[in-house]
Chain A
Amino acid sequence: MTSEAAATQVGPTVAAAPVARPRRRVITPYVLLAPTVLFLAVFFAWPMLQALVLAFQDASGAWSLAPIQRMTGDLNFSDSMRITLVFAAVVIPLQTVLALGMALLLMSGLRGAGVFLYLWAIPLGISDLASGVVWLSVFTDRGYINSILAGLGVSDTGFAFLSYENPISLFVCAAVAELWRATSIVMVILLSGLQVIPRDYGEAAEVFGATSWQRFRHVTLPLLRPSLQVALILRTILAFQVFAVVIALAGRQLPVLAEEAYHFYYDIRSPNVAAAYALLIMLLSLVFTAVYLRLLRVRDAELARR
């Protein structure tokens, strides 16, 4: 196949017109790609296989189901699985709605939208660990919320937000910290999606008498689907890895999958069980990515543009 034929096959991606170079230089792109491909083979594909191997070996290196059994038989296993899934199920929809609202606000022509955008993008640079510590200062027993409550005379000693006796409030505090930190990334993805929707579409709908809700529901939202897909996949994968926020706020009072992997690796010194947890997180991520790809189906060509 000539490079021109390849170009037609790429479809819309080609809009940026990679120039058709003389054929003798056709080797150049492969030379340029080789380092990345090699690196990903060693540090992405290989450890994936390694995880599979480790999870099905015992400590001596013999094939065994012991790590899987140890994982599923662990006291914290079903809790950590359930909490990780519920956490994602609670945080991600809230984040998506909030981020969509923020993106629409920025597009609505507020004065100072640039300033708001910068402020709202700040959490992009903040790590999950830092976010956990920040909200620890707010929610801890003698922290800022309780200081305010005491100052208002509502309660002298405050409320034990982060006590294991209040699992719901523990969960809510971790969810607030995640909302605070990771909504920005969804907002930026959705905002860049909104910006490429041609304005004529909305204006045409307006001419035909569509209300602003109808324009949003029938024009904006369908056109935003590729961005929503990207944002949801990214956020879900990160949510299954949720780790440091929870450790900083709750320790093992609120077990999650990545924390169990860390615990088995670091405290129990069992890389095999840790690898079993890693494998589980990978499988969950794959399954959910597949679900999103199916539910919010976008043509391949559209996907490749993102």
Chain B
Amino acid sequence: MATASTAISHRRSPPKRWNLYVAAVAISLFILIPIYLIAVAAFTPRAVLNGFPKPLLPVAVSTDTMQAFLSSRGVGQSVVNSLLVGIITLVLSTVLGAPAGYALARFAFRGRDSFQLLILMTRAFPIAILAVPLTVTFINWNLYDTLWAVALVHTALALPTTVLITASVFVAVPVDLEEAALTLGCTPIGAFTRVAMPLALPGLAAASIFTFVLSWNEVFASVILTVQNRTLPAQVLTQLDNSPLAYKFAGGFALIVPALIFIFFIRRYLFNMWGRIVR
């Protein structure tokens, strides 16, 4: 990332620099080796995987384990469920949260501070835990054990961050452009959809991906709120006790893959999400 590599003090003494590289490489290995090992485990034939000592290199590659996992009962459906919950969550949180983010970025209004405080408070709160009391509400609403129940809790989980990141995205879109559109005869809504929106789109996309990953990964609320309609993490979690290691490893790898892809796409926006928000 450009900002990270350019904001450098060039005055440090050079002699000890190789120490820094050793440390950086060591940290990288600590992060990468377990990912490598789970990949090897997920693509090793069962006979080899059950052997001991296990080979550290992919001596025999096979997709048997992975295929067996994906075709075992409930897994295929749970992958579909996870995708659906993720999509509902990101649509809901964008539709609800983006207007709020826009308001924070563009308007000075009474109660703005209180609203920001509310958002920060919710972020500093164990929201997933709220799935437990919410079961009562969802049973009353006939939503218990549906994907909607899970998606609603995931939306509550993602919404504060969506508001903050969309605020930071819209702050970065020059307001002058919108005003120019207004003077040239656009309606406020037209100015928003035809000027601000296209400029904000990449940032909003990053926020959506973040929301999706959050939903894809969430397990506590999912496992509390569903019985039959499991998401993938809930499925893997509830099968942990009575499944062979090969199944667990394949499940672990399946859970990681989307994360690897998505983090690659949103890496430029990580700072918007977790760094300073509305300036």
User: CB of B200 within 8 A of chain A?
Assistant: no
- Residues B108 and A185 in contact, CB atoms below 8 Å apart: no
User: CB of B59 within 8 A of chain A?
Assistant: no
Classify chain B: how many residues form its interface, as a range: 35 or more
Q: How far is the CB of B274 from chain A (nearest CB, A)?
A: 5
Within 8 A of A (CB), among B245-272: 245, 248-249, 251-252, 255-256, 258-260, 262-264, 267, 270-271
User: CB of B91 within 8 A of chain A?
Assistant: no
| Chain B 1-21 per-residue mask, 1 if CB under 8 angstroms from chain A, else 0 | 111110111111000000011
| A258 partner residues in chain B, CB cutoff 8 A | 129, 220
- Residues A20 and B108 in contact, CB atoms below 8 Å apart: yes
Q: How far is the CB of B153 from chain A (nearest CB, A)?
A: 7
| Chain B 146-157 per-residue mask, 1 if CB under 8 angstroms from chain A, else 0 | 000000110110
Contact of B132 among A43, A147, A278 (CB under 8 A): A278
- Given known contacts A133-B249, A234-B124, is B108 in contact with A119 (CB within 8 Å)? no
CB nearest neighbor in A for B102: A32
Q: How far is the CB of A299 from chain B (nearest CB, A)?
A: 13
- Residues B20 and A105 in contact, CB atoms below 8 Å apart: yes
Contact of B217 among A53, A125, A237, A261 (CB under 8 A): A125
- Given known contacts A33-B100, A127-B255, A241-B126, is B9 in contact with A117 (CB within 8 Å)? no
- Residues B275 and A43 in contact, CB atoms below 8 Å apart: no
| A130 partner residues in chain B, CB cutoff 8 A | 217, 233, 252, 255-256, 259
User: CB of B184 within 8 A of chain A?
Assistant: no
- Given known contacts A107-B4, A108-B20, is B118 in contact with A40 (CB within 8 Å)? yes
User: CB of A9 within 8 A of chain B?
Assistant: yes
| B153 partner residues in chain A, CB cutoff 8 A | 43
CB nearest neighbor in A for B273: A188
- Residues A50 and B99 in contact, CB atoms below 8 Å apart: no
| A241 partner residues in chain B, CB cutoff 8 A | 126, 128-129, 220
| A303 partner residues in chain B, CB cutoff 8 A | 120
Give the complex CA separation of A241 and B127 in angstroms.
10
Chain A interface, >50% SS class = helix
- Residues B31 and A36 in contact, CB atoms below 8 Å apart: no
Q: How far is the CB of A116 from chain B (nearest CB, A)?
A: 5
User: CB of A69 within 8 A of chain B?
Assistant: no
| Chain B 214-253 per-residue mask, 1 if CB under 8 angstroms from chain A, else 0 | 0011111001100000000100110011000100110110
Name which of A85-93, A164-172, A193-201 contacts chain B: A193-201
We find that the number of chain A residues with CB closer than 8 angstroms to chain B is: 122
| B32 partner residues in chain A, CB cutoff 8 A | 119, 122
- Residues B53 and A1 in contact, CB atoms below 8 Å apart: no
Q: How far is the CB of B94 from chain A (nearest CB, A)?
A: 11
User: CB of A180 within 8 A of chain B?
Assistant: yes
Name which of B60-68, B71-79, B134-142 contacts chain A: B134-142
| B262 partner residues in chain A, CB cutoff 8 A | 125
- Residues B130 and A304 in contact, CB atoms below 8 Å apart: no
- Residues A21 and B134 in contact, CB atoms below 8 Å apart: no
- Given known contacts A35-B96, A35-B100, A241-B126, is B112 in contact with A6 (CB within 8 Å)? yes
Q: B residues touching A (Cβ–Cβ < 8 Å)?
A: 1-5, 7-12, 20-21, 23-24, 27-28, 30-32, 34-35, 37-38, 41, 50, 52-56, 95-97, 99-100, 102-103, 105-113, 115-118, 120, 122-130, 132-137, 152-153, 155-156, 159, 163, 171, 175, 179, 188, 213, 216-220, 223-224, 233, 236-237, 240-241, 245, 248-249, 251-252, 255-256, 258-260, 262-264, 267, 270-271, 273-279
